[in-house]
A = this chain, B = another copy of it.
Amino acid sequence: MDRVDLNSDMGESFGAYKMGDDEAMLKIVSSANIACGFHGGDPLVMDHTLREAKKNGVGAGAHPGFMDLWGFGRRPIQGERPADVEKMLIYQIGALLGMAAAVGHPVTHFKAHGSLSNMACVDPDLAMACAKAARTGDWDLIFVAMPGTELERAGEKLGLRVAREVFADRNYTDDGQLVSRKLEGAMIHDATYAAERIVKMVKEQEVVSLTGKRVPVRVDTICVHGDSPSAVAMATEIRKALAAENIAIRPMADFIN
């Protein structure tokens, strides 16, 4: 593979509250997952993020979450009916599409946030709610999903263009899933190691588990973070390592069909 997308969550500030170093990340990544006002973000932040993404040639995506600002969308909220979650998502995507129409920068992908994403990875009904939201009306958003999850299956079932995602700072189990954050070794903190590993994943189109097992996957996009100086440093390192191997960093909409 000679090209890959780099995606990062952005636009998660709210009012006077700043979150993440979006300015730095927009120079590094090719896709921005933009918060839509429920777990973070507000109309002013969304507008600003879209404008900056456009200026930097960065693809824009909807990054909706649970209605839970205090919990930043990270609290697992049980008991939501999938049909209701779908409406929550359509609202947020629609809002971002409106902002994007004003800015003149298209929204091309969808990526669920936080607990919603975690829950949808293992719950086929929630996963289907996400997939349906991404193709509401004449929308046909690229659907970002981790390989082997219910999200991926739901996207495929609905005929969406699915972008398979790997995580730069997370270790994998032998069945190709993320090591739970509750366990030791879930997170990767070493930027150089993370960069080397990711380049290999892209070249070989596989993930390598903590125990060394190799699991073949399609790697379309790499998730990086910008919520701390060390996260920005890791993203920078990954960008350099990909360049050194002549792997082009391109917005997913350039090559996902």
Contact = CB atoms under 8 A, between A and B. Distances in A.
B78 A79 contact: no
Contacts of A92: 95
B98 A94 contact: yes
A138 to B, nearest CB: 7
Interface in A80-97: 80, 84, 87-88, 90-97
Given A16-B19, A75-B80, A91-B37, A102 B69 contact: no
> What are the 6 tightest A-B residue pairs by CB atom distance, in nearest-first order?
A94-B98, A101-B137, A17-B17, A16-B72, A43-B91, A95-B95
Contact of A78 (B46, B70, B78): B78
Given A87-B99, A97-B98, A76 B74 contact: no
A137 B95 CA distance: 13
A102 B90 contact: yes
Contacts of A16: 19, 40, 71-72, 74
A16 B18 CA distance: 10
Interface in A88-134: 88, 90-99, 101-102, 104
Interface residues of A, number: 46
A192 interface: no
Nearest to A19: B17
A14 B102 CA distance: 28
Nearest to A67: B70
B75 A76 contact: no
A44 interface: yes
Contact of A136 (B44, B94, B102, B138): B102
Contacts of A24: none
A52 interface: no
